[in-house]
Amino acid sequence: MKNIIIHVDMDAFYASVEIRDNPALKGRPLIIGSMPNERGVVATCSYEARKYGVHSGMNIKEAYRQCPDGIYMRPNFDKYKRVSAQLHDIWKTYASASEYIALDEAYLDVKERAKDWNGARKIARFIKQRTKEEAGLSCSVGLAYSKTAAKTASEEKKPDGYFEILDAEAFRELLADRDVRSLYTVGPKTAEKLNAYGIHTVLDIRNNRERVEKLFGKKGIWIADLAMGIDDRDVIPYRSEDAKSISRELTFQEDVSDFVFLKEVLFLLSLSVENRAKRVGFQWKGVSIKITYSDMKSVSRSKSPVDCGTAIEIYNEAVRLLEQVPKMTVRLVGVGIYNLSRDEYRQLTFDDLMGDLSKRHEEEMREVLEALGNHYGLDFAGNLDKLQHMETLHKTVEYMRKHIKKSDTRT
């Protein structure tokens, strides 16, 4: 027995937290995400809302058409992160390795602690009990021999469920007649391609292994292995140093054609990206931007290597990249950094040694903040900490967008 893995998945996490904190919401169709009159999608929803056909990722306007009498709330990510940290503290006590997939989901390697399947069952019960008693929330738990099987098991009896798949034979038997989408690596496009060749069920994949491998190459080998119940992956703890990039992006509630305004937004996003990077001690050598136009077509531009270690330098490079894209009406804008490292010993320049470079960056940043503050009547410099929260940043940008002066002649 190579692995004993538990997959924990919170039930409608954001919605459940809100219902826990406001019992009056219990039994109501609660939708967490954008407001119905805004652009955006459903982040999650209560099981009552799901009865109306609402689901995560659905366009919020479609959700409103399906469930006009639902209760719509914006997500409170700060609260969800606090609850998530509490949950992680509970779960990790039972595992030799914990792999957190999201705020509300984790793979736990419990073989060392459990010793055998009976011990693992006890751990699963403890996890469900403590999650309910200490956090006031329900979770679904899957116990299995592999990560894929554990994930499948946790979905089997939702909500507040428990299910186990102890070997590959049990996995194959369970999924044989199910749609190919029941394998978590098979998305809509992959499923469509499989269906075109008469492959509709997991059993069809097993019976057409050569065709699947020919269609998808290495990915096809992986899909065929999963259909057979083969998955030898270990639980790998997430480490911040493994991150490949850090980015922030914003979708405007109305399309934007003012590229001066876009530059201002790039500056605020650059501040946010720098803050996230510095919190975990990253340096970077690449800067990127993403633009999505009103027709939903996206373009990206990037530059590496670049010598930049501050928000103002990210911003200046982002502005240069922005000048390379077509000037059309924009729906979304984003800034990212990549080629991350923890190397604290970059070669110092003469300006560094004299302290002139950091002073210039501080002065330049202060000038930009003051200019923004004067233009919009906001205290940006005094609210930098608050702007690190995406909800506050989004509200600030929307305020700015609504107050762009028609007479602006900025360039």
Q: What gap in Å lies between CA 65 and CA 31, rounded to an integer? A: 13
Residues near 295 by beta carbon (within 8 Å), at least 6 away in sequence: none
Q: Which amino acid makes up residue 36?
A: P
Active-site residue identified among 105, 164, 274, 317: 105
Q: What gap in Å lies between CA 10 and CA 21, rounded to an integer? A: 16
One-character DSSP codes across 16-27? HHHHHH-GGGTT
First to last CA, the chain: 66
DSSP conformation class of 284? -
Which candidate, 302, 317, 310, 249, places its Cα nearest to that of 274?
A: 310
Q: What gap in Å lies between CA 126 and CA 129, rounded to an integer? A: 5
Residue 91, helix vs strand vs coil: helix
**105 a catalytic residue:** yes
Partners of 290 in beta bridges: 300, 334
Give backbone dihedrals phi and psi of 98, rounded to 5 degrees, phi first: -125, 130
- Specify the DSSP element, H or E, that contains 298: strand 298-303
CB of 145 within 8 A of CB of 5?
A: yes
Q: What gap in Å lies between CA 20 and CA 34, rounded to an integer? A: 21
Q: What gap in Å lies between CA 152 and CA 163, rounded to an integer? A: 9
Q: What gap in Å lies between CA 374 and CA 387, rounded to an integer? A: 17
CB of 206 within 8 A of CB of 228?
A: yes
Which candidate, 66, 401, 410, 72, places its Cα nearest to that of 254?
A: 401
Partners of 245 in beta bridges: 338
Q: Which positions are catalytic?
A: 105
